[in-house]
Protein backbone atom coordinates (compact mmCIF):
# COMPACT_ATOMS: atom_id res chain seq x y z
CA UNK A 1 0.00 0.00 0.00
CA UNK A 2 1.31 3.45 -0.92
CA UNK A 3 2.18 5.66 2.04
CA UNK A 4 -0.14 8.66 2.44
CA UNK A 5 1.09 12.12 1.59
CA UNK A 6 1.58 14.62 4.41
CA UNK A 7 1.22 18.36 3.83
CA UNK A 8 1.48 21.20 6.35
CA UNK A 9 0.67 24.89 6.17
CA UNK A 10 0.33 27.88 8.46
CA UNK A 11 -2.94 29.78 8.79
CA UNK A 12 -3.95 33.05 10.45
CA UNK A 13 -7.40 33.49 11.99
CA UNK A 14 -8.29 37.01 13.24
CA UNK A 15 -9.82 37.36 16.71
CA UNK A 16 -12.95 39.33 17.59
CA UNK A 17 -10.83 41.45 19.94
CA UNK A 18 -7.37 41.36 21.47
CA UNK A 19 -6.72 38.38 23.75
CA UNK A 20 -4.64 39.56 26.70
CA UNK A 21 -2.81 37.52 29.34
CA UNK A 22 0.02 38.34 31.71
CA UNK A 23 2.66 37.63 29.05
CA UNK A 24 1.18 39.81 26.30
CA UNK A 25 -1.63 40.19 23.77
CA UNK A 26 -2.60 38.69 20.44
CA UNK A 27 -5.08 39.76 17.76
CA UNK A 28 -5.01 36.59 15.66
CA UNK A 29 -4.62 32.85 16.12
CA UNK A 30 -1.54 31.56 14.29
CA UNK A 31 -2.06 27.84 13.67
CA UNK A 32 -0.47 24.96 11.77
CA UNK A 33 -2.68 22.53 9.85
CA UNK A 34 -1.54 19.08 8.72
CA UNK A 35 -3.41 17.18 6.00
CA UNK A 36 -2.81 13.46 5.39
CA UNK A 37 -4.24 11.93 2.22
CA UNK A 38 -4.14 8.73 0.21
CA UNK A 39 -6.03 10.30 -2.68
CA UNK A 40 -9.37 8.99 -1.45
CA UNK A 41 -9.43 9.75 2.27
CA UNK A 42 -8.21 12.86 4.06
CA UNK A 43 -7.33 13.43 7.72
CA UNK A 44 -6.53 16.78 9.32
CA UNK A 45 -4.99 18.05 12.52
CA UNK A 46 -4.43 21.57 13.84
CA UNK A 47 -1.93 22.81 16.41
CA UNK A 48 -0.78 26.12 17.86
CA UNK A 49 2.95 26.78 18.24
CA UNK A 50 3.50 27.85 21.85
CA UNK A 51 5.81 30.87 22.11
CA UNK A 52 6.23 30.20 25.86
CA UNK A 53 8.35 27.18 24.85
CA UNK A 54 10.12 28.77 21.90
CA UNK A 55 7.85 27.37 19.20
CA UNK A 56 7.07 29.30 16.01
CA UNK A 57 4.90 28.55 13.00
CA UNK A 58 7.94 28.28 10.72
CA UNK A 59 9.79 26.04 13.17
CA UNK A 60 6.83 23.70 13.61
CA UNK A 61 6.35 23.50 9.83
CA UNK A 62 10.05 22.66 9.44
CA UNK A 63 9.73 19.88 12.03
CA UNK A 64 6.70 18.38 10.32
CA UNK A 65 8.27 18.49 6.86
CA UNK A 66 11.50 17.02 8.22
CA UNK A 67 9.77 13.88 9.46
CA UNK A 68 7.00 13.59 6.84
CA UNK A 69 8.95 11.10 4.76
CA UNK A 70 9.65 8.87 7.74
CA UNK A 71 6.20 8.44 9.29
CA UNK A 72 3.20 6.62 7.88
CA UNK A 73 1.17 5.98 11.05
CA UNK A 74 0.77 7.68 14.40
CA UNK A 75 2.41 4.76 16.26
CA UNK A 76 5.97 5.85 15.52
CA UNK A 77 5.56 9.63 15.66
CA UNK A 78 7.12 9.96 19.10
CA UNK A 79 10.30 8.37 17.72
CA UNK A 80 10.87 11.46 15.61
CA UNK A 81 9.22 14.31 17.53
CA UNK A 82 9.11 15.45 21.14
CA UNK A 83 5.74 16.52 22.61
CA UNK A 84 4.69 19.86 21.19
CA UNK A 85 2.71 21.44 18.38
CA UNK A 86 4.28 19.45 15.53
CA UNK A 87 3.55 16.13 17.22
CA UNK A 88 0.03 17.29 18.08
CA UNK A 89 -0.84 18.28 14.51
CA UNK A 90 0.48 15.02 13.06
CA UNK A 91 -1.02 12.81 15.76
CA UNK A 92 -4.49 14.33 15.38
CA UNK A 93 -4.27 14.18 11.58
CA UNK A 94 -3.39 10.48 11.71
CA UNK A 95 -6.29 9.77 14.09
CA UNK A 96 -8.66 11.58 11.71
CA UNK A 97 -7.17 9.81 8.69
CA UNK A 98 -7.63 6.40 10.33
CA UNK A 99 -11.23 7.31 11.15
CA UNK A 100 -11.95 8.40 7.58
CA UNK A 101 -10.36 5.24 6.16
CA UNK A 102 -12.23 2.85 8.46
CA UNK A 103 -15.50 4.69 8.96
CA UNK A 104 -15.05 4.29 12.73
CA UNK A 105 -15.15 7.40 14.94
CA UNK A 106 -11.93 8.24 16.79
CA UNK A 107 -13.51 7.82 20.23
CA UNK A 108 -14.17 4.18 19.41
CA UNK A 109 -10.75 3.67 17.82
CA UNK A 110 -9.12 5.07 20.98
CA UNK A 111 -11.38 3.07 23.33
CA UNK A 112 -12.73 6.28 24.87
CA UNK A 113 -16.20 6.88 26.25
CA UNK A 114 -18.62 8.39 23.74
CA UNK A 115 -17.96 12.16 23.61
CA UNK A 116 -20.41 14.40 25.46
CA UNK A 117 -21.57 17.99 25.31
CA UNK A 118 -20.37 20.05 28.25
CA UNK A 119 -20.17 23.61 29.54
CA UNK A 120 -16.93 25.27 28.51
CA UNK A 121 -15.46 28.19 30.36
CA UNK A 122 -15.47 31.52 28.54
CA UNK A 123 -12.31 33.57 28.94
CA UNK A 124 -12.23 37.20 30.05
CA UNK A 125 -8.95 38.79 28.94
CA UNK A 126 -6.74 40.58 31.44
CA UNK A 127 -7.93 44.17 31.85
CA UNK A 128 -8.88 46.73 34.47
CA UNK A 129 -11.23 45.37 37.14
CA UNK A 130 -14.20 47.46 35.97
CA UNK A 131 -13.70 46.44 32.35
CA UNK A 132 -13.55 42.76 33.22
CA UNK A 133 -16.67 43.15 35.35
CA UNK A 134 -18.49 44.85 32.47
CA UNK A 135 -17.56 42.06 30.08
CA UNK A 136 -18.71 39.44 32.58
CA UNK A 137 -22.06 41.22 32.86
CA UNK A 138 -22.40 41.26 29.07
CA UNK A 139 -22.55 37.44 28.87
CA UNK A 140 -25.31 36.56 31.36
CA UNK A 141 -26.11 33.40 29.38
CA UNK A 142 -22.64 31.97 30.09
CA UNK A 143 -22.41 30.25 33.46
CA UNK A 144 -18.69 29.38 33.63
CA UNK A 145 -16.17 32.22 33.28
CA UNK A 146 -12.38 32.15 33.37
CA UNK A 147 -10.54 35.30 34.39
CA UNK A 148 -7.09 35.98 33.02
CA UNK A 149 -5.09 37.61 35.82
CA UNK A 150 -1.73 39.34 35.84
CA UNK A 151 -0.44 40.07 39.34
CA UNK A 152 -0.99 43.63 40.66
CA UNK A 153 -4.70 44.36 41.00
CA UNK A 154 -5.78 40.72 40.79
CA UNK A 155 -7.67 40.87 44.09
CA UNK A 156 -9.70 43.79 42.75
CA UNK A 157 -10.32 41.92 39.49
CA UNK A 158 -11.72 38.88 41.26
CA UNK A 159 -13.95 40.95 43.54
CA UNK A 160 -15.23 43.10 40.67
CA UNK A 161 -16.19 40.15 38.48
CA UNK A 162 -17.82 38.35 41.40
CA UNK A 163 -19.89 41.44 42.20
CA UNK A 164 -20.95 41.71 38.55
CA UNK A 165 -21.80 38.02 38.27
CA UNK A 166 -22.84 36.59 41.63
CA UNK A 167 -24.49 33.70 39.78
CA UNK A 168 -21.48 32.55 37.74
CA UNK A 169 -18.98 29.80 38.35
CA UNK A 170 -15.52 31.40 38.25
CA UNK A 171 -12.06 30.07 37.42
CA UNK A 172 -8.90 32.19 37.38
CA UNK A 173 -5.65 31.82 35.44
CA UNK A 174 -2.62 33.79 36.61
CA UNK A 175 -0.32 32.52 33.83
CA UNK A 176 2.64 32.42 36.28
CA UNK A 177 2.16 36.08 37.31
CA UNK A 178 1.82 35.68 41.09
CA UNK A 179 4.78 35.64 43.47
CA UNK A 180 5.69 33.74 46.60
CA UNK A 181 5.03 36.95 48.56
CA UNK A 182 1.53 37.54 47.15
CA UNK A 183 0.11 34.08 46.57
CA UNK A 184 -1.33 33.40 50.03
CA UNK A 185 -3.23 36.69 50.14
CA UNK A 186 -4.57 36.17 46.63
CA UNK A 187 -5.67 32.63 47.44
CA UNK A 188 -7.60 34.11 50.39
CA UNK A 189 -9.31 36.60 48.06
CA UNK A 190 -10.11 33.78 45.63
CA UNK A 191 -11.73 31.81 48.45
CA UNK A 192 -13.69 34.89 49.53
CA UNK A 193 -14.97 35.25 45.94
CA UNK A 194 -15.97 31.62 45.58
CA UNK A 195 -13.40 30.87 42.88
CA UNK A 196 -13.45 27.17 41.95
CA UNK A 197 -9.90 26.83 40.66
CA UNK A 198 -6.65 28.81 40.42
CA UNK A 199 -4.56 27.97 37.39
CA UNK A 200 -0.75 28.23 37.43
CA UNK A 201 -0.28 31.00 40.01
CA UNK A 202 3.53 30.78 40.24
CA UNK A 203 6.21 30.40 37.57
CA UNK A 204 6.75 26.78 36.61
CA UNK A 205 10.26 26.74 38.09
CA UNK A 206 8.79 27.64 41.51
CA UNK A 207 6.50 24.63 41.87
CA UNK A 208 8.17 23.55 45.11
CA UNK A 209 6.98 26.74 46.83
CA UNK A 210 3.45 25.36 46.70
CA UNK A 211 4.36 22.55 49.07
CA UNK A 212 3.96 24.69 52.18
CA UNK A 213 0.93 26.71 51.08
CA UNK A 214 -2.57 26.13 52.44
CA UNK A 215 -4.58 25.55 49.28
CA UNK A 216 -8.06 26.63 50.38
CA UNK A 217 -8.86 26.92 46.66
CA UNK A 218 -7.64 24.07 44.42
CA UNK A 219 -4.59 24.91 42.31
CA UNK A 220 -4.17 23.64 38.76
CA UNK A 221 -0.89 23.12 36.91
CA UNK A 222 -0.73 24.41 33.34
CA UNK A 223 2.71 25.61 32.27
CA UNK A 224 4.19 23.17 34.79
CA UNK A 225 2.66 20.08 33.19
CA UNK A 226 3.23 18.72 29.70
CA UNK A 227 3.05 14.93 29.65
CA UNK A 228 2.23 11.94 31.85
CA UNK A 229 5.88 11.83 32.93
CA UNK A 230 5.39 15.10 34.87
CA UNK A 231 2.63 13.80 37.11
CA UNK A 232 4.62 11.95 39.81
CA UNK A 233 6.62 15.14 40.50
CA UNK A 234 3.56 17.40 40.59
CA UNK A 235 0.96 15.25 42.34
CA UNK A 236 1.80 16.49 45.85
CA UNK A 237 2.01 20.13 44.76
CA UNK A 238 -1.17 20.61 42.73
CA UNK A 239 -4.80 19.57 42.95
CA UNK A 240 -5.50 19.51 39.22
CA UNK A 241 -3.77 19.58 35.84
CA UNK A 242 -4.66 21.35 32.60
CA UNK A 243 -4.39 18.84 29.75
CA UNK A 244 -3.56 20.55 26.45
CA UNK A 245 -2.90 18.54 23.32
CA UNK A 246 -0.31 21.05 22.11
CA UNK A 247 1.84 20.32 25.16
CA UNK A 248 1.07 16.61 25.57
CA UNK A 249 1.83 15.79 21.93
CA UNK A 250 -1.62 15.17 20.52
CA UNK A 251 -4.60 13.09 21.52
CA UNK A 252 -2.38 10.07 22.16
CA UNK A 253 -0.27 11.92 24.72
CA UNK A 254 -3.30 13.64 26.25
CA UNK A 255 -5.03 10.30 26.89
CA UNK A 256 -1.92 9.05 28.69
CA UNK A 257 -1.72 12.27 30.72
CA UNK A 258 -5.36 12.05 31.81
CA UNK A 259 -4.98 8.44 32.91
CA UNK A 260 -1.81 9.14 34.88
CA UNK A 261 -3.38 12.19 36.55
CA UNK A 262 -6.41 10.15 37.60
CA UNK A 263 -4.12 7.47 39.06
CA UNK A 264 -2.72 10.20 41.31
CA UNK A 265 -6.19 11.50 42.28
CA UNK A 266 -5.77 14.79 40.47
CA UNK A 267 -8.69 16.66 38.96
CA UNK A 268 -8.69 17.34 35.24
CA UNK A 269 -9.14 20.46 33.17
CA UNK A 270 -9.08 19.95 29.41
CA UNK A 271 -7.87 23.11 27.70
CA UNK A 272 -6.62 24.40 24.39
CA UNK A 273 -4.85 27.34 22.87
CA UNK A 274 -6.71 30.05 20.92
CA UNK A 275 -7.47 28.16 17.71
CA UNK A 276 -10.22 27.00 15.39
CA UNK A 277 -12.66 24.16 15.96
CA UNK A 278 -10.29 21.77 14.19
CA UNK A 279 -7.80 22.08 17.06
CA UNK A 280 -10.47 21.86 19.74
CA UNK A 281 -12.33 18.87 18.28
CA UNK A 282 -9.89 16.16 19.48
CA UNK A 283 -9.87 17.64 22.98
CA UNK A 284 -13.67 17.24 23.10
CA UNK A 285 -13.14 13.48 23.20
CA UNK A 286 -11.73 13.94 26.72
CA UNK A 287 -14.62 16.07 27.99
CA UNK A 288 -16.29 13.16 29.77
CA UNK A 289 -13.08 12.66 31.80
CA UNK A 290 -12.80 16.32 32.78
CA UNK A 291 -13.91 18.25 35.84
CA UNK A 292 -13.69 21.47 33.79
CA UNK A 293 -13.20 22.16 30.12
CA UNK A 294 -11.70 25.36 28.73
CA UNK A 295 -12.28 25.00 25.00
CA UNK A 296 -13.63 28.41 24.04
CA UNK A 297 -10.95 29.18 21.45
CA UNK A 298 -13.39 29.15 18.50
CA UNK A 299 -15.66 31.60 20.35
CA UNK A 300 -12.84 34.14 20.42
CA UNK A 301 -12.39 34.13 16.63
CA UNK A 302 -13.92 36.64 14.23
CA UNK A 303 -15.07 33.56 12.30
CA UNK A 304 -14.48 29.82 12.58
CA UNK A 305 -13.76 27.27 9.86
CA UNK A 306 -16.43 25.30 8.00
CA UNK A 307 -18.24 22.61 10.04
CA UNK A 308 -17.08 24.28 13.27
CA UNK A 309 -18.11 22.98 16.67
CA UNK A 310 -21.62 23.83 17.80
CA UNK A 311 -21.69 26.02 20.92
CA UNK A 312 -24.99 27.09 22.47
CA UNK A 313 -25.22 29.12 25.69
CA UNK A 314 -21.77 27.99 26.72
CA UNK A 315 -22.40 24.30 25.99
CA UNK A 316 -19.96 22.91 23.43
CA UNK A 317 -20.88 19.80 21.45
CA UNK A 318 -18.67 16.99 20.09
CA UNK A 319 -17.43 17.33 16.52
CA UNK A 320 -19.25 16.01 13.49
CA UNK A 321 -17.14 13.77 11.20
CA UNK A 322 -17.10 16.49 8.53
CA UNK A 323 -14.85 18.49 10.88
CA UNK A 324 -12.75 15.79 12.52
CA UNK A 325 -12.77 12.27 13.89
| 5-21 vs 24-37, strand pairing mode | antiparallel
Catalytic residue among 82, 244, 247, 267: 244
Helices (H), the chain: 57-67, 77-80, 85-102, 106-109, 129-137, 154-164, 183-192, 231-234, 245-248, 250-263, 277-283
Taking the C-alpha atoms of residue 150 and residue 147, their distance in angstroms, rounded to an integer, is 10
Taking the C-alpha atoms of residue 287 and residue 281, their distance in angstroms, rounded to an integer, is 10
Taking the C-alpha atoms of residue 318 and residue 39, their distance in angstroms, rounded to an integer, is 27
Taking the C-alpha atoms of residue 292 and residue 68, their distance in angstroms, rounded to an integer, is 35
Going by the DSSP 8-state scheme, the letter that residue 287 receives in this structure is G
Residues 131, 136, 140, 142: what is their CA dihedral angle, to the nearest 10 degrees? 150
Residue 289: how many other CB atoms lie within 10 Å: 19
Taking the C-alpha atoms of residue 158 and residue 50, their distance in angstroms, rounded to an integer, is 27
Closest to 100 in 3D by CA, of 45, 31, 32, 46: 45
Catalytic residue among 118, 148, 247, 267: 148
Active site residue 244: yes
Active site residue 100: no
Q: Is-contact 253 87, C-beta < 8 A? A: yes
Catalytic residues, by residue number, are 148, 244
Amino acid sequence: MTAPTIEARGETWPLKEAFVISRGAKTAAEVVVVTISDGEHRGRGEAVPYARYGETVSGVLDDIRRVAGHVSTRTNLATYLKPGAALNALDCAFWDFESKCTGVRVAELAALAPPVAKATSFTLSLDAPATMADKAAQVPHLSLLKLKLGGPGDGDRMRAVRAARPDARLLVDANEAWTIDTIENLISVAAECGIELIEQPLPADQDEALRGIDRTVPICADESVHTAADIPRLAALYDAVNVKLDKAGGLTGAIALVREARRHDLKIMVGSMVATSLAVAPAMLLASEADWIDLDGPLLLAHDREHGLRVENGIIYPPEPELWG
